[in-house]
Structure 1
């Protein structure tokens, strides 16, 4: 699928430099037009309660078998609500009846997807589709932290463990979140370019689906690069857009 316009819905409280993110994306897709909008739920406040219908009450039951009522889950001392990412996307989709642009919603809602392999929900930073959703809470909580973190919190205070391992994972308010967000936006755009295949098997490519925080930092912050295969796909896409402009 070809596109030219990408619209971001973003809340300043999320502490991402959206201009910085857009600048990085523009280097890969110079012929696209990126528009920064405000919070989606301020733009469409009628969807605030709609989104709550995607809440998860039981982590080991698929969405169709959730018990009524809202549940909060403890994430290392933070009381957090979980949302079924695909259900949230389905509920928000009617707000985007047109296909004239790619809508991307940044949110602090923690999106999750259910796995039938271990029959439980897992946190996700990214839900691709219309709309695409990037969860800043998911950026922190979805990729696994270093193994030392999980061993240390068995006997030590979480805050002291985070201080000891500082820099080895993305945390709340982390300035590196801007570059990581750019990587997830790239995955969204390649999702549409490839008709549903946003990830790369090359572990050095920004489109690699990193499951560990240290891998995420390596490919998105320390050495952000796109492999030859996906660079060629981007070049072909850019050429098609430029050709249409010249007609």
Structure 2
């Protein structure tokens, strides 16, 4: 692989430039940064195409709602991403639609595109007949969902109980500081100041998959590990050492 291009997600806490700096020290490729993918390459057809990828129900494999009001929502979300949220999209379908918009001459395995997205992405689980939120979707382009970092890995059970209790009393979600005080265990929430640090491993996973064909690492403390629970994310992405012995040989600076 010769080039990796990251795309900013300006309405999120993810710093694409800091991610690129970190990646440059660890991979044998030129790492560049561009502005938001959905702004650079949006066209008149994209709102309807995104509407086609909407997940309608957690237990329904079929996706898509292209009613005029939904397409108008997608138009507004492209123009003003800070107004979007609360929608889950089929990650593989989004990947296919964005892949068509990669500039001609850059659609090769030698140039990996990694859009950081402000959208929640999911993949269908044939084993249990339901959608699962994801942090990343490997391939070309490799999608990294910033909301997925907070929403895909499960938080401690007590987190959901405290959140529900606070909502009943105050009518909204409690601040992170309140949850951290009431819930035993470490986890990430929306706009967490550790977002960029935690995403480093997920961006590297995208590179590693395209460069080697290997998916995730089994070692729980490695940046290439894919935990299903938030405490595992904290352990893999925010604790030392960064890598297991095998991947330290390849990626440690």
Q: 1:150 Cα deviation (Å)? A: 2.4
Is 1:101 matched with 2:119?
no
- Structure 1 residue corresponding to 2:240, chosen from 214, 220, 223: 223
- Name the structure 2 match of 1:210: 227
How far apart, CA to CA, are the structure 2 residues paired with 1:79 and 1:191?
A: 29
Question: Does structure 1 conserve the Cα–Cα contact (< 8 Å) formed by 2:54 and 2:63?
Answer: no
Taking structure 1 as the reference length, what is the TM-score of the superposition?
Answer: 0.82
- Structure 2 residue corresponding to 1:176, chosen from 194, 216, 232: 194
Is 1:132 matched with 2:129?
no
Question: Does structure 2 conserve the Cα–Cα contact (< 8 Å) formed by 1:105 and 1:133?
Answer: yes
Question: Does structure 1 conserve the Cα–Cα contact (< 8 Å) formed by 2:53 and 2:63?
Answer: no
- Name the structure 2 match of 1:39: 36
How far apart, CA to CA, are the structure 2 residues paired with 1:144 and 1:199?
A: 18
Q: 1:27 Cα deviation (Å)? A: 2.2
Distance change >3 Å, CA 199–CA 168, structure 1 → 2: same
Q: Structure 1: any 5+ residue segments left out of the alignment?
A: 73-77, 239-247
Is 1:48 matched with 2:46?
yes
Q: 1:233 Cα deviation (Å)? A: 4.3
Matched position secondary structure for 2:122: strand
Taking structure 2 as the reference length, what is the TM-score of the superposition?
Answer: 0.80
Q: Deviations over 1:142-170 (max 9, x none)?
A: 01111211233454436338433328221
- Name the structure 1 match of 2:94: 88
Matched position secondary structure for 1:7: strand
Calculate the aligned-residue CA RMSD, in Å: 2.5
- Name the structure 2 match of 1:190: 208
Is 1:116 matched with 2:126?
yes
Q: 1:224 Cα deviation (Å)? A: 4.9
Q: 1:221 Cα deviation (Å)? A: 1.4
